[in-house]
Amino acid sequence: MTSTCSDRHAPDPEMGSQRQLELLARAEHLRVFFNHSLMVLLANLAGGAALAAGLWSAVPRQQLSAWLAILVLFNLARWVKGRQIAQQRLDRSLVEQQDRLLLFATLTSGLIWGSAAVLFYVPGQPAYSMYLALILVAMTAAATALLSFHRLAYPVFVTPIVLPLGLQLIADQGPSSTAVALVIPLYYSLLLILSRQIYRFSHEAILTSLIRERHALIDHLTGIPNRRAFEEFLEKEWIRSMRSRRPLTLIVSDIDDFKDYNDRYGHTVGDAILRSVASLFHVAARRRTDLAARIGGDEFAIVVPETDRAGVAAIIASIESGRARLAQDTSKPWSFPTLSFGFCTVTPSDSASVFALYEAADAALYEAKSAGRDGTAACDPQ
């Protein structure tokens, strides 16, 4: 497991917790597969070379060469695409698309190998037919471990290979080919059972890891990222912005007179206020590249990469608008508290530090509080 909160962003309150975990687990299954695209390439090249070497004198060479060229080109293209996907940031919106792409590529690979059973089977020649069967069986057996990280990939790959191979063996009517044809269904039934067990165990392990990671990076009260997740994300965005020479903004805020609310109305009211403010910040951090977090008792922050001053003002205005709507609720014996904001926008460089950015934004927040609260202040441009 290498992905972090910066990859997954904050939990979506509109999405059920179990549904979200399942979606993230599917993404991790895909990540495992695409991270091993080089292994898939080498296995297919080795299998194709072995098949061509063993059947070179028994089947039409032009046909065999064309098949081998298709196999090589397809797997090279799949390897390139797999590397591209493995290097992308994990995005929930791409999970379905990547899932379909994986199944399409797996089915295509199975059809290419299955076509070998039709094109290169040599009737009445047990040595060549058994050699072909051995190569195809070896390829499907070798694929069991990796393809089992996807819930459907293994049967999608195996079926287009097993069916034509079994039919060719039965049609040959030789004693050895008939025996192999009868054994193949049992053999692949056992492999399919093994594949399902591997998927189940890996899925449970991924879910357990995701749950532990969530507990470590998510604030248990508000459901948004905690200070640890915030610091990790801010550090990564600082490095990313330093490389791209793009601005990075940090907005910090706290609830005005929050201690008075806790003392007067109790911690139940205080917790309700914290959850409401967290929701406002989560909604305001609407871009996939933004992150809203609770970084202290009543202190919240939003990391906003590549945004100008107008964009920052729009985020703060969105939070203020939501707070104003909550303040209009007269059904409670307390009015919703105001918020103060401080923000700082810099273009990161080697001469500065991410800690200095936080200090500058925090100093701006202190300035807003000193000016009477319920306001916004920007940091010193220097």
CATH number at residue 342: 3.30.70.270
**Average confidence (pLDDT) over 102-107:** 94
Identify the band that residue 335 occupies on the pLDDT scale cut at 50, 70 and 90.
confident
* Domain total in the chain: 2
**Average confidence (pLDDT) over 170-194:** 87
14 has a pLDDT exceeding 50: no
Q: Say whether both 252 and 106 belong to one domain.
A: no
Identify the band that residue 90 occupies on the pLDDT scale cut at 50, 70 and 90.
low
Residue 249: which H helix or E strand, with range? strand 248-255
Whether 222 is covered by a domain: the verdict is no
From 174, 197, 217, give the residue that closes a domain: 217
Structural domain harbouring 338? 227-378
Identify the band that residue 278 occupies on the pLDDT scale cut at 50, 70 and 90.
very high
pLDDT of residue 92: 62
Please give the structure tokens belonging to residue 235.
């550090």
Strand order, beta sheet including 291-294: 291-294, 299-305, 248-255, 339-346, 376-378
Distance between CA atoms of residues 327 and 349, nearest Å? 41
Q: What length does the chain have?
A: 382
Considering only CA atoms, give the Rg of the chain: 29
pLDDT of residue 37: 87
Q: Which of 234, 278, 252, 256 is nearest to 343 (CA)?
A: 252
4 has a pLDDT exceeding 70: no
Identify the band that residue 286 occupies on the pLDDT scale cut at 50, 70 and 90.
confident
Contact present, 99 and 30 (Cβ < 8 Å): yes
8 has a pLDDT exceeding 70: no
Distance between CA atoms of residues 24 and 32, nearest Å? 13
The CA–CA distances, whole Å, from 191 to 115, 137, 299 equal 21, 11, 54
Q: Say whether both 47 and 86 belong to one domain.
A: yes
Percent of the chain with pLDDT over 70: 93
pTM for this structure? 0.61
10 has a pLDDT exceeding 70: no
**Average confidence (pLDDT) over 152-173:** 91
Q: Say whether both 64 and 164 belong to one domain.
A: yes
**Average confidence (pLDDT) over 279-296:** 91
Whether 149 is covered by a domain: the verdict is yes
Q: Say whether both 64 and 205 belong to one domain.
A: yes
Contact present, 356 and 242 (Cβ < 8 Å): no
Q: Say whether both 56 and 187 belong to one domain.
A: yes
Percent of the chain with pLDDT over 90: 54
Identify the band that residue 15 occupies on the pLDDT scale cut at 50, 70 and 90.
very low
Minimum mean pLDDT range among 86-90, 213-217, 223-227, 331-335: 86-90
**Average confidence (pLDDT) over 41-57:** 95
From 190, 217, 244, give the residue that closes a domain: 217
Bridge partners of residue 55, in order along the sequence: none
51 has a pLDDT exceeding 90: yes
Which of 204-208, 243-247, 341-345 is the most confident on average? 341-345
CB environment 200-216: b (16+ within 10 A), e (fewer): eebbeebbeebeebbee
Q: Say whether both 240 and 365 belong to one domain.
A: yes
